[in-house]
Amino acid sequence: MRVLGIETSCDETGVAVYDSEQGLLLGHALHSQIDIHAQYGGVVPELASRDHVRKLIPLIKNLLHENLIKQSEIKGVAYTAGPGLIGALLVGAAVGRSLAWTWQVPAIGVHHMEGHLLAAMLEKPAPRFPFLALLVSGGHTQLVEVMARGKYTVLGESVDDAAGEAFDKTAKLLGLGYPGGPAIARLAERGNPDVFHFPRPMTQRPGLDFSFSGLKTSVLTTWRAQVQNEQTRADIARAFEIAVIETLAIKCRRAIQQTGLKRLVVAGGVGANQRLRTRLREVADKMGAVVYYPRPIFCTDNGAMIAYAGSLQLMAGQSEPLGFSAYPRWSMNELK
Amino acid sequence: MKLLAFDASSPACSCALHLDGEITERYEIAPRQHAALILPMADELLTEAGLKPIELDGIAFGRGPGSFTGLRIASGVAQGIAFAADIPVAPISSLATLAQAAYIENGAKKVFAAIDARMSEVYWGMYIIDKQGIMRCEGEESVSAPHHISLPNVEDWYGVGSAWTIYADILATKCGLSQEDESYPQARAMIPLALAAFAEGQIVSAENALPVYLRNKVV
């Protein structure tokens, strides 16, 4: 079954076609809105929606054309139904549901985080179920136990800022560009890891929840108390990055111990951070576990993960009625 | 011509099918329910007519002005159907639709249509009926504070639209007569406008079936 996937939950328009018989991604395309939002230091929801409605059909048109896929070959449509920005989600849902209606094929609304969870399945080797997943992005920080498709238990999550959000906010107060993750990672290259030390929030008490909002306050206090030069900025960026990575590493180690699972999947935009990847691999090696990552372009938002996750649901006979919906807040524990 | 028209720019959601001169319609006042209603309405109309979506010749959608989210729902649906069926789209003004309905229902020939734009402003435009019975916009559609609007020859104009429920006192000084009930754009009234647009080539391909917001300063 060839499934068209559409992702429009935030500031990336992503499309892809996945062929479930061949187990093959036939093509994918992405349009990033970073330039539109950069001047505001964060995503402006109305501008995001306006851009999705301009870019989605041209992106699908090119995707089909460049990969020599005929419209008549598409047997299902999957779109991100939530969580995310309501206006942005509705664009993908409206276009996706209408394409499916016109082609007279089934459609399915996919949970964005389920897409991220399963993105590593597009890689070789793909992780086998069950596995533990760390989802780290601008909107989410979660540890999830994945028993099978649709069987997810959130073991822990951020009680305030997501890890990616902490990167963005810290970058902003250090006067760096948007998005903050790559900006901090670049600057941290030149930073001395031993000059500053920031707390590893919520690692002293039991549990798998995260909290990152205090960390940016520590960064701000430190930055204000220093002579503000390039080296200090780099040193702080390095210490901040280490604090986030170590916090994530400590919780992953704890989750592996707690669940006994030997496979760890890391996904979400922050999962593209190379030092995080290296550190989690060290942690996993010591515990006899294996870490799986999607390729960096599938760590951030993309249509491929939606096409894949949607194909599994469509193959299982699930589909959406003609009336479409978007869910800005949607817990993964509710999935079936 | 087999033409499907729909509008989601207001608290109402409506869909109309034009099939060789006959019009069938679904209309419901259902705020924030457009996503749930629009395709089921379209599907019912097509099923009753024994048509498949792929057999349509064209699409008309309410391109605005109006609720931003509603405009994008209609635009997204229009794009999806038009791309999949490989047919053209006529983007239809929601203000012109109100004016056309005032002509159909009340014989109004000069219409001042105004839609509540929130933030103490209204979307508005002036429309005059042509010889073929099609409402044409005089000047440009715009967004402004109601007391800033000035119309030539006040008594000539017939006022319609959701702005009237909120700014009746101010708007009453701008024209002679007005509709008494609050009115929303109806897909049925889009059909003559859309047929004229198709006849005149005022049509676009799927990817250019875009909303017209009028308010473009949103940050």
> Residues B109-133: pLDDT tens digits?
999 999 999 999 999 999 999 999 9
Q: How high does pLDDT run on average in chain A?
A: 95
Query: pLDDT, tens digit, for every residue of B28-46?
Result: 999 999 999 999 999 999 9
Confidence band for A189, pLDDT divided at 50, 70 and 90 = very high
Instruction: Quote the CA–CA distance of B70 and B62 in Å, as a whole number.
Output: 9
| CA-based nearest distance B218→chain A, Å | 7
Residues of chain B with pLDDT > 70, as a percent, come to 100
pLDDT score at B118: 94
SS3 for chain A is CEEEEEECCCCEEEEEEEECCCCEEEEEEEEECHHHHHCCCCCCHHHHHHHHHHHHHHHHHHHHHHCCCCHHHCCEEEEEEECCCHHHHHHHHHHHHHHHHHHCCCEEEEEHHHHHHHHHHHCCCCCCCCEEEEEECCCCEEEEEEEECCEEEEEEEECCCCHHHHHHHHHHHCCCCCCHHHHHHHHHCCCCCCCCCCCCCCCCCCCCCECCHHHHHHHHHHHHHCCCCHHHHHHHHHHHHHHHHHHHHHHHHHHHHHHCCCEEEEECHHHHCHHHHHHHHHHHHHCCCEEECCCHHHCCCCHHHHHHHHHHHHHCCCCCCCCCCCCCCCCHHHCC
Instruction: Quote the CA–CA distance of B109 and B102 in Å, as a whole number.
Output: 8
Residues of chain B with pLDDT > 90, as a percent, come to 86
- Between A49, A71, A101, which is nearest B39 by CB? A101
The pair phi, psi for residue B63, each rounded to 5°, is: -85, 0
pLDDT at residue B89 tops 90? yes
pLDDT at residue B152 tops 90? no
**Where in the sequence of chain B do the CATH 3.30.420.40 domains occur?**
3-94+185-208, 95-181
CATH number of B95-181: 1.20.950.20, 1.10.3720.10, 3.30.420.40, 2.30.31.10? Answer: 3.30.420.40
pLDDT score at B87: 98
Compare all CA atoms of chain B with the CA of A326 and give the residue at the minimum distance. Answer: B35
B19 touches A at CB < 8 Å: no
Give B198-209 as a DSSP string: HHHT--B-GGG-
Instruction: Quote the CA–CA distance of A24 and A122 in Å, as a whole number.
Output: 8
Over residues A92-98, mean pLDDT: 98
pLDDT score at A335: 84
Amino acid, single-letter form, for residue A286: K
Ramachandran category for residue A260: left, alpha or beta (phi over 0 → left; psi -120 to 50 → alpha): left
Over residues A293-300, mean pLDDT: 94
pLDDT at residue B181 tops 90? no
B176 touches A at CB < 8 Å: no
A288 touches B at CB < 8 Å: no
Confidence band for A154, pLDDT divided at 50, 70 and 90 = very high
B67 touches A at CB < 8 Å: no
- Single pTM value for the model: 0.95
- Do the chains contact at A49 and B84, CB–CB below 8 Å? no
pLDDT score at A143: 97
**What is the CB-side half-sphere exposure of residue A291 using CA atoms within 13 A?**
22
- Between B35, B40, B43, which is nearest A90 by CB? B35
Residues of chain A with pLDDT > 70, as a percent, come to 100
- Do the chains contact at B79 and A54, CB–CB below 8 Å? no
**Which residues in chain A have their CB less than 8 angstroms from residue B36's CB?**
323-325
pLDDT at residue B180 tops 80? no
Give the list of residues 6+ apart from residue B119 with CB closer than 8 angstroms, or none. none
Token code pair at residue A13:
């328009």
Q: Which of residues 54-83 of A touch B (CB under 8 A)?
A: 54, 56-58, 60-61, 71
Is it true that the peptide bond before A179 is cis, omega within 30 degrees of 0?
A: yes
- Do the chains contact at B219 and A40, CB–CB below 8 Å? yes
- Do the chains contact at B219 and A326, CB–CB below 8 Å? no
pLDDT score at A179: 84
CATH number of B3-94+185-208: 1.10.3720.10, 3.30.390.30, 3.40.50.720, 3.30.420.40? Answer: 3.30.420.40
Question: Which is more confident, B176 or A202?
Answer: A202
pLDDT at residue A305 tops 80? yes
Confidence band for A333, pLDDT divided at 50, 70 and 90 = confident
**Which residues in chain A have their CB less than 8 angstroms from residue B81's CB?**
98-99, 101-102
Interface-testing mutation among A95, A97, A325, A327, with chain B (most B C-beta atoms within 10 A): A95
Q: What 8-state DSSP symbol labels residue B158?
A: E
pLDDT at residue A147 tops 90? yes
CB A107 within 8 A of CB A75: no
The yes/no answer to whether this complex scores an ipTM above 0.90 is: yes
pLDDT at residue B150 tops 90? no
Instruction: Quote the CA–CA distance of B32 and A268 in Å, as a whole number.
Output: 31
pLDDT score at A268: 92
| CA-based nearest distance A335→chain B, Å | 21
Confidence band for A167, pLDDT divided at 50, 70 and 90 = very high
Confidence band for B172, pLDDT divided at 50, 70 and 90 = confident
- Between B52, B79, B85, which is nearest A57 by CB? B79
**What is the CB-side half-sphere exposure of residue A88 using CA atoms within 13 A?**
26
CB A1 within 8 A of CB A24: no
- Do the chains contact at B80 and A95, CB–CB below 8 Å? yes
**Which residues in chain A have their CB less than 8 angstroms from residue B7's CB?**
none
Instruction: Quote the CA–CA distance of A137 and A121 in Å, as a whole number.
Output: 18
pLDDT score at B85: 98
pLDDT score at B6: 98
Over residues B53-58, mean pLDDT: 98
Confidence band for B145, pLDDT divided at 50, 70 and 90 = very high
Give the list of residues 6+ apart from residue B157 with CB closer than 8 angstroms, or none. B110, B111, B112, B126, B151, B174, B175, B176, B177
pLDDT score at B165: 84
Compute the count of residue pairs across chains A and B with CB atoms less than 8 Å apart.
106
pLDDT score at A293: 95
pLDDT score at B211: 98
Burial grade of B43 (CB within 10 A; 0-12, 13-18, 19 or more): middle
B51 touches A at CB < 8 Å: no
Query: pLDDT, tens digit, for every residue of A4-45?
Result: 999 999 999 999 999 999 999 999 999 999 999 988 888 999
| CA-based nearest distance A287→chain B, Å | 49
- Do the chains contact at A99 and B35, CB–CB below 8 Å? no
